[in-house]
C-alpha cells in the first residue's frame, strides 16, 4: 500500500510540472520567475519520491527473501545400505560386463547363488508373459545406468518379400483375381495361350485362333502375433514397447519369406517350392551327396527364361557357401571364380553368383536338400496385402494381473503367377522363373 501511494504522488508531481510547461507554451512565452521557482520545487520533490520508491521496492524484495528462507522445508536425507543413494537408487554392479557375466553364470549354474545378482533382483508374482522376477522372461532386460537399449541379435528379414510383385488391397476388398494367360508351351499354337499367326498367299482366307486365359485368385490370409508384458517391466525398460514393434515386424518379414519359399498354401501363401511351375534341375550322374558342382549352376541358369535373367537372383542356405567357394570356371590355363563374395571385388552391395546377385537366407533348406540353392525371378511372384502390419495394445485383457497385451496383425497372400513350367519353342528342357536343384 505504501509503495503504491508513493507512485501516485510521483505521478501527480509529474503532472504539475507538465502543466506549468504547457501553460507557458500555450501563451508562447517562457516560464516566469515564480513559475521557475515552483518548477524547481516540484523537481526536487520528484527526485525525493523516486529515491523513496526505490528504497521501498528494495525492502519488499528483502522481506520476500526473508520469508522464503524461514518457510523453506527441511531436507531430510535417509542413510541406506551400501551402494544406494537417499532416493533408493542402488548401483550393485561396477560395470555392465560384471552384471552380464553374473547373468551368464546364473544360467549355466542355476543352483549357485550370486549375492550381487540376488541383491539386484526384484521378487514379484509369476505372470503369463514377460515379468521382472524371472530372467528368461525378461527380468534381465532391466538395464539401469548401463544401457537404454535392448541388446539383440541382428537378422536380415524380408529379403524375398522385398523383391516380389506387390499390390495393396482396398479397404472394401478381401482378395484379388488376376487374369492370366494359360501358356504352357512356346510351340506354334500355344504361345500366349493360343495366339498364332500364319503366312498366307494372296486371296487365302484368314485362320482364326482362340487364346486361353486363367485366373490367379488370391484371398487374404492372417499372420498374427501376441505378447504380454507387466506394467512394471514396461515402466522400468521403456525401450521394450518400441522393441516389441520392431521385432514383430522383423518376425513378420521372416514368416512371409518362409511362406514365399516353402508355404503350402493352406492358410498361408503358396510357396515356390510347392508350386506347379517349379523346375527341378537333375543332379549330375555320380554326383556325391552334399555337394554343389559348377555344372549344377550352369544348367540351372539354362532353365531360366531369357527374359527373366535380368531380374533373377540366387538364394541359398549358408551351408552351401563352402561349396560355392570351390566353383571355378576354367578358361585355358586360368580359373575364374563363379561366386564372388561382397568384398568390393564386384563393386556391388551383395554377393554375385554367375553374374547375378546372390543372397544367403535362413529359409533355404540345408546343403543337399531340394531348395538349398534356387534361381528365382521374384517379379513373377504376386503378393497382395491390406497395407502395413497393424498393431494394437490393451490394458483390459489382463487388467487384474497388471499386464499389457500387444497384438500384431498382417493380412497377406501370395502365389506364383506361373502355374506350370514352359516348354520352349525349340528344345526339350522346360523353363521357369523358379528353378531349384534335385536333392543329392
Confirm whether 119 is domain-assigned: no
Predicted pLDDT at 122: 45
DSSP 399: G
Cross-strand pairs, 264: 270
Confidence of residue 173 (pLDDT cuts 50, 70, 90): confident
**Calpha distance 277→82 (Å, rounded):** 70
pLDDT tens readout for residues 34-88: 888 888 888 888 888 888 888 777 777 776 666 554 444 545 444 455 556 555 5
Confirm whether 250 is domain-assigned: yes
Confirm whether 60 is domain-assigned: yes
Helix, strand and coil percent figures for the chain, each rounded to 5: 35, 20, 45
Residues 254 and 242 in one domain: yes
**Calpha distance 55→71 (Å, rounded):** 25
Residues 50 and 165 in one domain: no
Confidence of residue 219 (pLDDT cuts 50, 70, 90): very high
Pair 431, 306: CB distance under 8 Å: no
Confidence of residue 407 (pLDDT cuts 50, 70, 90): confident
Q: What is the CATH number of the domain that holds 219?
A: 3.30.2400.10
Mean pLDDT across 9-28: 83
Predicted pLDDT at 20: 82
Residues 301 and 204 in one domain: no
In the structure grid, which three cell numbers stand for residue 125, read together?
A: 508374482
DSSP 18: H
Pair 291, 323: CB distance under 8 Å: yes
Confirm whether 191 is domain-assigned: yes
Confirm whether 23 is domain-assigned: yes
Confidence of residue 177 (pLDDT cuts 50, 70, 90): confident
Mean pLDDT across 239-266: 86
Residues 400 and 431 in one domain: no
**Calpha distance 196→185 (Å, rounded):** 13
> Final residue of a domain: which of 48, 69, 90?
69
Share of the chain above pLDDT 90, in %: 34
In 3-state terms, what secondary structure has residue 128?
Answer: coil
Confirm whether 362 is domain-assigned: yes
Residues 364 and 398 in one domain: no
Residues 169 and 187 in one domain: yes
> Final residue of a domain: which of 52, 69, 86?
69
Residues 167 and 235 in one domain: yes
Predicted pLDDT at 213: 82
Across the chain, what does the average pLDDT equal? 80
Residues 252 and 284 in one domain: no
The 10 Å Cβ neighbour count of residue 259 is: 26
> Final residue of a domain: which of 38, 54, 69?
69
Predicted pLDDT at 270: 96
Residue range of the domain that includes 299? 272-383+419-437
pLDDT tens readout for residues 138-165: 444 444 444 444 445 555 678 999 899 9
Top-confidence range, 24-33, 205-214, 386-395: 205-214
Predicted pLDDT at 327: 93
Residues 262 and 394 in one domain: yes
**Calpha distance 62→353 (Å, rounded):** 84
Q: List all residues 6 or more positions away from 379 whose beta carbon is below 8 Å from its beta carbon.
A: 163, 164, 165, 308, 311, 433
Number of domains within the chain: 3
Predicted pLDDT at 106: 59
In the structure grid, which three cell numbers stand for residue 53, read together?
A: 520508491
Residues 430 and 300 in one domain: yes
Q: Of 248, 253, 255, 268, which Cα lies nearest the Cα of 393?
A: 248
Residues 289 and 261 in one domain: no
Confirm whether 176 is domain-assigned: yes
Share of the chain above pLDDT 70, in %: 75
When mean pLDDT is compared across 132-146, 185-199, 281-295, the lowest value belongs to 132-146
In the structure grid, which three cell numbers stand for residue 29, read together?
A: 512565452
pLDDT tens readout for residues 87-136: 555 666 665 456 545 655 555 555 666 677 666 554 333 445 555 454 54
In the structure grid, which three cell numbers stand for residue 7, read together?
A: 507512485
**Calpha distance 342→359 (Å, rounded):** 10
Predicted pLDDT at 361: 95
Torsion of CA 157, 161, 163, 169, to 10 degrees: -140
More confident residue, 179 or 325: 325
Q: List all residues 6 or more positions away from 203 whose beta carbon is below 8 Å from its beta carbon.
A: none
**Calpha distance 244→254 (Å, rounded):** 15
Predicted pLDDT at 147: 41
Confirm whether 85 is domain-assigned: no
Residues 245 and 391 in one domain: yes
**Res. 315: pLDDT tops 90:** yes
**Res. 287: pLDDT tops 80:** yes
What is the per-residue DSSP string for 195-251?
-------TTPPP------EEEEEEE-EEEEEEEEEEHHHHHH-THHHHHHHHHHHHH
More confident residue, 219 or 142: 219
Mean pLDDT across 376-381: 96
Q: What is the pTM of this model?
A: 0.64
Amino acid at each position: 500500500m505504501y509503495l503504491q501511494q508513493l507512485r501516485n504522488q510521483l505521478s501527480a508531481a509529474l503532472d504539475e510540472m507538465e502543466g506549468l510547461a504547457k501553460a507557458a507554451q500555450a501563451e508562447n512565452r517562457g516560464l516566469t520567475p515564480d513559475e521557475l521557482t515552483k518548477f524547481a520545487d516540484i523537481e526536487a520533490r520528484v527526485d525525493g519520491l523516486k529515491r523513496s520508491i526505490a528504497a521501498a521496492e528494495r525492502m519488499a524484495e528483502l522481506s520476500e527473501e526473508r520469508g522464503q528462507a524461514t518457510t523453506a522445508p527441511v531436507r531430510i536425507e535417509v542413510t541406506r545400505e551400501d551402494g544406494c543413494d537417499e532416493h533408493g537408487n542402488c548401483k550393485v554392479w561396477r560395470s555392465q560386463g560384471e552384471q552380464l557375466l553374473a547373468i551368464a553364470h546364473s544360467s549355466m549354474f542355476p543352483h549357485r547363488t550370486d549375492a550381487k545378482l540376488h541383491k539386484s533382483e526384484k521378487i514379484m508374482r509369476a505372470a503369463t508373459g514377460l515379468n521382472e522376477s524371472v530372467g528368461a522372461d525378461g527380468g534381465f532386460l532391466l538395464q539401469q545406468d548401463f544401457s537404454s537399449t535392448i541388446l539383440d541379435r541382428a537378422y536380415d528379414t524380408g529379403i524375398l518379400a522385398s523383391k516380389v510383385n506387390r499390390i495393396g488391397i482396398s479397404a472394401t476388398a478381401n482378395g484379388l483375381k488376376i487374369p492370366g494367360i494359360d501358356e504352357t508351351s512356346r510351340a506354334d499354337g500355344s504361345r500366349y495361350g493360343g495366339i498364332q499367326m500364319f503366312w498366307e498367299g494372296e486371296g487365302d482366307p484368314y485362320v482364326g485362333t482362340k487364346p486361353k486365359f486363367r485366373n490367379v485368385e488370391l484371398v487374404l490370409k492372417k499372420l498374427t502375433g501376441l505378447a504380454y508384458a507387466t506394467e512394471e517391466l514396461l515402466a522400468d525398460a521403456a525401450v521394450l514397447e518400441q522393441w516389441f514393434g520392431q521385432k514383430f515386424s522383423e518376425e513378420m518379414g521372416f514368416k512371409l519369406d518362409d511362406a514365399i519359399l516353402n508355404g503350402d498354401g493352406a492358410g498361408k501363401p503358396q510357396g515356390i517350392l510347392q508350386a506347379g511351375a517349379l523346375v527341378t534341375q537333375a543332379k549330375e550322374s555320380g554326383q556325391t551327396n552334399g555337394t554343389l558342382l559348377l555344372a549344377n549352376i550352369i544348367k540351372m541358369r539354362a532353365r531360366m527364361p531369357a527374359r527373366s535373367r535380368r531380374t533373377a537372383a540366387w538364394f541359398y542356405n549358408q551351408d552351401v557357401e563352402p561349396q560355392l567357394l570351390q566353383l571355378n570356371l576354367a578358361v585355358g590355363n586360368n580359373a575364374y571364380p563363379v561366386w564372388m563374395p561382397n568384398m568390393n571385388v564386384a563393386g556391388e552391395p551383395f554377393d554375385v553368383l554367375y553374374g547375378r546377385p546372390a543372397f544367403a537366407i535362413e529359409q533355404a533348406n540345408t546343403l543337399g536338400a531340394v531348395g538349398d540353392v534356387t534361381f528365382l525371378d521374384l517379379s513373377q511372384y504376386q503378393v497382395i496385402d491390406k497395407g502395413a502390419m497393424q498393431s494394437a495394445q490393451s490394458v483390459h485383457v489382463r487388467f487384474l494381473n497388471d499386464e499389457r497385451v500387444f497384438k500384431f496383425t498382417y493380412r497377406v497372400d501370395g502365389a506364383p503367377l506361373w502355374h506350370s513350367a514352359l516348354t520352349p519353342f525349340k528344345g526339350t528342357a522346360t523353363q521357369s522363373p523358379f528353378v531349384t536343384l534335385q536333392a543329392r
